[in-house]
Chain A
Amino acid sequence: MLECTGLTKSFSKTLFSDLDISLAPGEILGVLGPSGCGKTTLLRCICGLEGLDSGSIALDGIDITGTEPEDRGIGMIFQKPVLYPHLTVSGNLALASRIGHKEALLEVGLSGFEKRTVENLSGGEGQRLALARALLAEPSVLLLDEPFSALDKDLSERLLGDVRSILKARDCPAILVTHNRSEALMFSDRIMDMPDSS
């Protein structure tokens, strides 16, 4: 279970202040807000890539606020899939786990892609691979930063459905940030609007 309490972060302006988030096991939360409101920064703070001005984050009752991102056990899928061009599909998966590649690819609909180079993957395939890799690492929580925003509507909707099914089948809690309300409604169990900090 993820408990975020009093999260506050500002750069040149305050992005969010005294924000509380609670995520039950297996729950999928959608965070809605317009571009530039601090959605991505919120996810980066939760996984530890950005530091908080104040507030605390606890995972399964353990305070991880000061823990390095690599030690938190939280996974994240970036807006644009981050795939390593010097590695094949299988090589990218190996960064998460040395085993289970075939099953992971089958789960995301990329069977037989093991030996392919990532440069030849389409946008949708790239995001599926990023998802497979993130899940293979067995994260305690998965954070999704508008991962399908660059795809066309049909593909985006299909992928959202697929990812939701996979997460539910694994009972993996997740937070999706998006500016698209219908996407959030389709994907999430619960929706939270980013508070207006201005």
Chain B
Amino acid sequence: MNELRRSLGTVSFALYSAIVVIPITLALIRLISVTGFNPTGWFASLSENYVSLGVTNFTVVQATASTFATLVISMPIAWVLGRYKWNNEPIIRSILTLPFVVPSIIAAMGILTIVGSHGLNIRSDQSTWWWTLVISHAWFNMALFIRFCEPLLSSMNPELEEQLRLLPHGRTRLSRIRNLWLPLLMPPIVAAACMTFVFSFTSFALVKWITVGNNTLESMMADVSSSAGIAGYMESSSNIVMGASLIQFTILLTSLWLTSVIQRKQSYALDFSRSHHSKKIDRRGLIVLIPALIFASLPLISVLIGSFRIRNLNPNTGDFSWGTGGWEAAIEGGFSFAPVAHAFGNSLGYAFLTLIVALPLGYTMALTIYDLEKIKPRLGRLLDVFTMLPFALSAAMIGLGVLIGVIKINPSAAYKFWALPALAHVMLTTPFVVRIMLPAIRSYDKSYDENAKVMGMKSIERFFRIRLPLLKGSFVVSSVFVLAMSLGEFGASFVIARNTDWVTLPLLIDAWRGKPMKDPFAAPASNAIASVLLLMTMILFMIAERFRNSREGGMF
């Protein structure tokens, strides 16, 4: 590790610690000053207050069920995609993995259109809400299983299975699953399951809109956050936030730790083969593939259709009619709603601001972890886990941390500092940059750098002429991920954006949808804005797909 890299690494980790640790620490100090240090009281408050009663149980049960449902739905899809040969495979893979980058508020709008009164019409029955949420989480997270497992399935040396077929304990299909597929697929399955559990546990927009009245820890915290951290005012809110945060932090950190341990213990040096050697043509896979493509695209198509469907106020003229009224309402805005162009500008501004900070920060941290893995492996692993800390904090907690932390430093900034939401977006997106860049840096052949050195190139020149072009794909994918996540970020922005001038596209969708349904444009306008956001996300996703290395497993 040379001096420049060491200095950059130190600065990047110091900055990241400041961005992540300081607001959260200040928020904790603030909350503790209001509630007193009383862990028993924090946890007890969760069962004492009607706002939080049963929330922990509901969160854990729905996250577990969602993880199981995602596993059951996704693994056959990953199998047919990985083991069989398909025409237009990149397009199929893109459609099936798009849901993961779609902002959850868009998914919520699409799913509401499907299950709503002009769709399946099952929302009148409260018992279906729970299942709708579980299936929605499966829709949202199935890309994780596909992304984590499909590279292994598609590129594994076929001789591993052929050899097993010739051995006594590999003669039956079941024994091959038990002795080969299951042990090899276990690490990516466990990693995907843990991440699915984490995302389902911290899901906000889907919970808020699909299960009205049934809170998760995340949505409940976001709800009570406005009254938390204020001395002498609704102290129960601060108690609830402390109890919920601690439970959430413990469970999420355990999930991430489990992922890390299992991946490290079972990271086999697999003998990969070229994917066209292992794949075969089997049209029976269409039984899985066609329903999967419909399942993946239906909520997105529903958003667009829903933007043109306007409820008729006069029952004599039918249930609904088709028109562009929703789009017009969204474009014009209203007395209490910003025009879509205003939210669009804010969203883009926050996204690019986030990118400017998160990309170099994530890259230099990934580089430092890589350097430390060789000289101080334990420290390298520790910092690797540290960069994942925001995964364990959840968006609402981060939003609350930023808000309370900033109020502590400079109260007026909470209402005047336009860039504040971008701070939370940096916290949420930087871990993804590290996770995407680290495998790329690990697979980068250092002889390229060494050769450039002997040709007399200085470090800056080497970066721009050698390293950047070779790692271009990962940089583009990271950038796209940061932009897409920031554009669609809802939980933290919902908590932080106290100034209505800071409204983003997801917040505007939420505001329109929250309007009383007697306004016929409430649903179509929210769907129209969701369509704009969806279009932006899809463009970014298509750019990322062009640069994605299909053989790289475990990448988001």
Which A positions have Cβ atoms within 8 angstroms of B? Answer: 47, 49, 68-71, 74-76, 78, 80, 82, 84-87, 94-97, 119, 133-134, 137, 139
Q: Which 3 A-B pairs have the closest CB atoms?
A: A70-B171, A85-B268, A82-B163
- Which of chain B's residues 144-198 have a Cβ closer than 8 Å to chain A? 157, 159-160, 162-172, 179-180, 183-184
Q: Are A82 and B172 in contact (CB under 8 A)?
A: no
Q: Are A69 and B166 in contact (CB under 8 A)?
A: yes
Judged by a CB distance under 8 angstroms, whether B269 is at the interface is: yes
Taking a contact as CB atoms closer than 8 A, the residue among A82, A94, A97 that contacts B159 in the complex is A82
Max count, chain B CB within 10 A of own CB: residue among A76, A97, A133, A134: A76
- Minimal beta-carbon separation of A100 from chain B (angstroms): 12
Name the residue on A nearest B182 (C-beta): A86
Q: Are B170 and A70 in contact (CB under 8 A)?
A: yes
A84 CA to B166 CA in the complex, in Å? Answer: 14
- Minimal beta-carbon separation of A94 from chain B (angstroms): 7
Taking a contact as CB atoms closer than 8 A, the residue among A75, A80, A119, A139 that contacts B269 in the complex is A119
Please judge, given known A-B contacts A76-B163, A82-B157, A85-B270, whether A95 and B170 are in contact too, CB under 8 Å: yes
Name the residue on B nearest A85 (C-beta): B268
Kindly list chain A residues whose C-beta atoms are within 8 Å of the C-beta of B271: 80, 85
Judged by a CB distance under 8 angstroms, whether B266 is at the interface is: yes
A16 CA to B229 CA in the complex, in Å? Answer: 82
Q: Are B162 and A49 in contact (CB under 8 A)?
A: yes
A149 CA to B270 CA in the complex, in Å? Answer: 22
Name the residue on A nearest B268 (C-beta): A85
A–B complex contacts, Cβ < 8 Å, 20 sampled: A68-B165, A70-B166, A70-B170, A70-B171, A75-B166, A75-B167, A82-B163, A84-B160, A85-B268, A85-B270, A85-B271, A86-B183, A86-B268, A94-B169, A95-B167, A96-B167, A133-B167, A134-B166, A137-B168, A139-B166
Name the residue on B nearest A47 (C-beta): B166
Kindly list chain A residues whose C-beta atoms are within 8 Å of the C-beta of B266: 86
A68 CA to B172 CA in the complex, in Å? Answer: 10
Kindly list chain A residues whose C-beta atoms are within 8 Å of the C-beta of B179: 84, 95
Max count, chain A CB within 10 A of own CB: residue among B160, B163, B165, B270: B163
Task: Kindly list 17 other residue pairs between chains A and B, CB separation below 8 angstroms, not including A78-B162, A85-B270.
Answer: A47-B166, A49-B162, A49-B165, A70-B166, A75-B166, A78-B163, A85-B268, A85-B271, A86-B266, A94-B169, A95-B164, A95-B169, A95-B179, A96-B168, A134-B167, A137-B167, A137-B168
- Minimal beta-carbon separation of A93 from chain B (angstroms): 10
A49 CA to B169 CA in the complex, in Å? Answer: 17
A49 CA to B158 CA in the complex, in Å? Answer: 11
A119 CA to B172 CA in the complex, in Å? Answer: 26
A16 CA to B159 CA in the complex, in Å? Answer: 23
Kindly list chain A residues whose C-beta atoms are within 8 Å of the C-beta of B162: 49, 69, 78, 82
- Minimal beta-carbon separation of A39 from chain B (angstroms): 16
A70 CA to B164 CA in the complex, in Å? Answer: 8
- Minimal beta-carbon separation of B187 from chain A (angstroms): 9
A137 CA to B157 CA in the complex, in Å? Answer: 22
- Minimal beta-carbon separation of A72 from chain B (angstroms): 8
Kindly list chain A residues whose C-beta atoms are within 8 Å of the C-beta of B268: 85-86, 119
- Minimal beta-carbon separation of A95 from chain B (angstroms): 5
Kindly list chain A residues whose C-beta atoms are within 8 Å of the C-beta of B171: 70-71
Which B positions have Cβ atoms within 8 angstroms of A? Answer: 157, 159-160, 162-172, 179-180, 183-184, 266, 268-271
Taking a contact as CB atoms closer than 8 A, the residue among B157, B172, B184, B269 that contacts A70 in the complex is B172
- Minimal beta-carbon separation of B165 from chain A (angstroms): 5
Q: Are A82 and B160 in contact (CB under 8 A)?
A: yes
Kindly list chain B residues whose C-beta atoms are within 8 Å of the C-beta of A47: 166
Name the residue on A nearest B171 (C-beta): A70
Q: Are A86 and B165 in contact (CB under 8 A)?
A: no
- Minimal beta-carbon separation of B345 from chain A (angstroms): 52
Kindly list chain A residues whose C-beta atoms are within 8 Å of the C-beta of B167: 75, 95-96, 133-134, 137
Kindly list chain A residues whose C-beta atoms are within 8 Å of the C-beta of B157: 82
Kindly list chain B residues whose C-beta atoms are within 8 Å of the C-beta of A139: 166
Name the residue on B nearest A133 (C-beta): B167
Q: Are A76 and B269 in contact (CB under 8 A)?
A: no
Kindly list chain B residues whose C-beta atoms are within 8 Å of the C-beta of A49: 162, 165
Kindly list chain A residues whose C-beta atoms are within 8 Å of the C-beta of B270: 85
Kindly list chain A residues whose C-beta atoms are within 8 Å of the C-beta of B183: 86-87
Name the residue on B nearest A119 (C-beta): B269
Name the residue on B nearest A79 (C-beta): B159
A82 CA to B161 CA in the complex, in Å? Answer: 9
A94 CA to B172 CA in the complex, in Å? Answer: 15
A139 CA to B166 CA in the complex, in Å? Answer: 9
- Minimal beta-carbon separation of B241 from chain A (angstroms): 44
- Minimal beta-carbon separation of B543 from chain A (angstroms): 36
A85 CA to B166 CA in the complex, in Å? Answer: 18
Q: Are A96 and B165 in contact (CB under 8 A)?
A: no
Name the residue on A nearest B180 (C-beta): A84
A70 CA to B165 CA in the complex, in Å? Answer: 5
- Minimal beta-carbon separation of A99 from chain B (angstroms): 12
A84 CA to B270 CA in the complex, in Å? Answer: 9
A97 CA to B163 CA in the complex, in Å? Answer: 15
- Minimal beta-carbon separation of A35 from chain B (angstroms): 18
Q: Are B184 and A86 in contact (CB under 8 A)?
A: yes
Q: Are A76 and B166 in contact (CB under 8 A)?
A: yes
A71 CA to B172 CA in the complex, in Å? Answer: 9
Kindly list chain A residues whose C-beta atoms are within 8 Å of the C-beta of B169: 94-96
A137 CA to B169 CA in the complex, in Å? Answer: 9
Name the residue on A nearest B270 (C-beta): A85
Q: Are A97 and B168 in contact (CB under 8 A)?
A: yes
A47 CA to B163 CA in the complex, in Å? Answer: 11
A80 CA to B269 CA in the complex, in Å? Answer: 15
A137 CA to B160 CA in the complex, in Å? Answer: 16
Max count, chain B CB within 10 A of own CB: residue among A68, A70, A134, A139: A70
Name the residue on B nearest A97 (C-beta): B168
Kindly list chain B residues whose C-beta atoms are within 8 Å of the C-beta of A96: 167-169
Kindly list chain B residues whose C-beta atoms are within 8 Å of the C-beta of A97: 168
- Minimal beta-carbon separation of A122 from chain B (angstroms): 15
A71 CA to B168 CA in the complex, in Å? Answer: 9
Name the residue on B nearest A78 (C-beta): B159
Kindly list chain B residues whose C-beta atoms are within 8 Å of the C-beta of A86: 183-184, 266, 268
A82 CA to B158 CA in the complex, in Å? Answer: 10
Kindly list chain A residues whose C-beta atoms are within 8 Å of the C-beta of B184: 86
Max count, chain A CB within 10 A of own CB: residue among B165, B179, B180: B165
A68 CA to B176 CA in the complex, in Å? Answer: 14
